Amino acid sequence: MSMAMPKEIRDRIRQKIWDKADELGWATLSDADRTIWYENWSKDKDVGGALAHFMDPRKVRVYIKDSLLKPYLRGRLEGDAETALLAAGLGEGPLSIKATFNKPHGRLLLDGRVICWGNSRDWKAIVISVFERAYRLESGIPYAAVLLETGRTTNDGVRDMIRDVAARLQLNQVVWLD
């Protein structure tokens, strides 16, 4: 039961889940909807059943969530780097990137500007990260937070509050990608 999972089985299961996540628009699903899908996959004989041959069946759901879907989301967000930089007005010409960040994704440019992006459901972490990363630098500039709308911040009142928080933290801009 605790044998090493063959790569081809892991890859097949990961691809099946990632394809379905793409189809569902995983980033926009509510926590309740995600929970339903974790359960569906855990009970699916081709997913949960196959995984249960290599791990404690009680750990299948956690494996799907942490080992398969977290990398999926990170990969999709990193793939949005160019879009996020363009949305923040940084797409003109080649950028001189000094550092790359994860959790949340971001860039530190040579001129000290910090930009971070991610799903709008995580707006607090993104806005604070822009501020915190710039604050740690001698000449850091909290430049932009780019939020990929996930259905949580579509209300103008919520967006106004987020802009107010960002302004108080001296971020130059907050941009939504709907």
Per-residue confidence of the chain (178 residues) as pLDDT tens digits?
456 889 999 999 999 999 999 999 898 888 899 999 999 999 999 999 999 999 999 999 999 999 999 899 888 877 778 889 999 998 766 778 899 998 899 999 999 999 999 999 899 999 999 999 999 998 999 999 999 998 778 888 999 999 999 999 999 999 999 8
Alpha helices in the chain (DSSP H): 7-24, 31-43, 50-52, 60-63, 70-78, 81-87, 123-135, 156-168
Say what the pTM is. 0.79
Distance in angstroms between the alpha carbons of the first and the last residue of the chain: 45
